[in-house]
Amino acid sequence: MENHELPFTVKDVAAAQKRIHPYVRQTPLLASGQTCAENQPVYLKCENLQVTGAFKARGAFNFVLSLLDQGGAPGVITASSGNHGQAVAYAAARMGLPCTVVVPEDVIAVKAQAIRSYGAKVEYAGHTSTDRIERAEQLATQQGWVFVPPYDHPWTAAGQGTAGLEILQQRPDVSVVLVPIGGGGLISGVATAIKETRPEVRVIGVEPELANDTYLSLQAGRVVDIGANHTLADGLRTSHPGDYTFPIVQRYVDEVVLVSEQDIENAARELLFRSKLLVEPSGAVTVAALRQLDVQRAGTGSVVCLLSGGNADPNWLATLLGNPVVGQGALQ
């Protein structure tokens, strides 16, 4: 695939960075104090400290602001397991637009409450990403509103890619960036920003073993739908990668690795007790994958783990706090 065939380029990511700058944070890149492989230092890109608690604010603001640049809309509607919905609700509120968010029936309650706190209406539909996206698109057609895709749109993904530009600016010696994969909006944006600027930097995607749709899709050479899944990493419970995002993943992502549920929980625990960072399971998958990063994969520079969000389920967090024992983990 030639560059001009891709849905967006690093120029679009740079334009998004300028567009959203007044509304989002340049999140810190913190030294973890740990090393991996050949003693490469590990850094944590803290999108858990982003506006609304996750990287999703980047894509939401880029989409809403781009929409307003093209004449606006009477309202916006989206589908989300939680974090994207919060981000769109917040961006819509800042821009004075009404908003509805379609969430799964088993959405984490605190995420639905946060969406409502930004003034959006919440509707429940099914358990899979396909269920809620189809319902949101149906409502958008009925109401004449604009559907804001959670990941599968150039405006959304280019906005997410601004995190990749920040990593390059904050850590010029980076050799590897590990990125969580749900629908592929984050990794397609980050990979575009990095590979079109510094092609030698390795971009490694991370999925839960129980939500391995992108991993299987790459093996098959086509989009594979795995249906409903129940990984602890609720933000990564997508059924299949996106039509826009998957070709970018095929072109730019060096590999995708899988992590177990236990490794995800251990990584989140280590981040909380060692690094003093509250990171939800979806964001902790990158730290869980550090053990798989051997010398050949790690290169010679810094390793960056993108922590995608911090909107943790209080019930899960209570369990984590009740069992604070840290074993031999990734950040040792």
Task: Please indicate, yes or no, whether residues 268 and 169 belong to a single structural domain of this protein.
Answer: yes
Interatomic CA distance for residues 176 and 195, integer angstroms: 11
pLDDT at position 234 is 87
Task: Please indicate, yes or no, whether residues 108 and 188 belong to a single structural domain of this protein.
Answer: no
pLDDT at position 291 is 85
pTM of the model: 0.92
Task: Please indicate, yes or no, whether residues 91 and 28 belong to a single structural domain of this protein.
Answer: no
Task: Please indicate, yes or no, whether residues 108 and 222 belong to a single structural domain of this protein.
Answer: no
Tens digit of each residue's pLDDT (9 = 90 or more) over 83-93: 999 999 999 99
- Per the structure, the complete domain to which residue 15 belongs is given by 3-54+155-322
Tens digit of each residue's pLDDT (9 = 90 or more) over 38-64: 788 999 999 999 999 999 999 999 999
Task: Please indicate, yes or no, whether residues 34 and 106 belong to a single structural domain of this protein.
Answer: no
What residues are labeled active site?
56, 308
- In a domain, residue 225? The reply is yes
- In a domain, residue 331? The reply is no
pLDDT at position 331 is 56
Supply the CATH number for residue 243's domain. Answer: 3.40.50.1100
Residue located via tokens 């092609």: 199
Q: Which of 133, 153, 173 is the last residue of a domain?
A: 153
- In a domain, residue 329? The reply is no
Task: Give Dmax (Cα) for the chain.
Answer: 57
Interatomic CA distance for residues 270 and 71, integer angstroms: 47
Q: Which residues pair with 40 in a beta bridge?
A: 36
Q: What is the DSSP string of 65-127?
A: HHHHHTT--S-EEEE-SSHHHHHHHHHHHHHT--EEEEE-TT--HHHHHHHHHTT-EEEE--S
Interatomic CA distance for residues 203 and 191, integer angstroms: 6
Task: Please indicate, yes or no, whether residues 311 and 232 belong to a single structural domain of this protein.
Answer: yes
Q: Is residue 122 pLDDT above 50, yes or no? A: yes
CB contact at 8 A, 327 and 300: no
Task: Please indicate, yes or no, whether residues 298 and 207 belong to a single structural domain of this protein.
Answer: yes
Task: Please indicate, yes or no, whether residues 261 and 228 belong to a single structural domain of this protein.
Answer: yes
- In a domain, residue 332? The reply is no
Total domains present in the chain:
2
Q: What is the DSSP string of 153-221?
A: SHHHHHHHTHHHHHHHHH-TTEEEEEEE-SSSHHHHHHHHHHHTT-TTSEEEEEEEGGG-HHHHHHHHT
The least confident of 14-23, 121-130, 206-215 is: 121-130
Task: Please indicate, yes or no, whether residues 207 and 295 belong to a single structural domain of this protein.
Answer: yes
Task: Please indicate, yes or no, whether residues 95 and 190 belong to a single structural domain of this protein.
Answer: no
Between the CA of residue 172 and those of 88, 89, 164, 203, what are the distances in Å? Answer: 31, 34, 12, 15
Q: Is residue 251 pLDDT above 60, yes or no? A: yes
What percent of the chain shows pLDDT beyond 90?
79
CB contact at 8 A, 167 and 175: no
54 by DSSP, 3-state: which? strand
How does the average pLDDT of the chain come out, rounded? 92
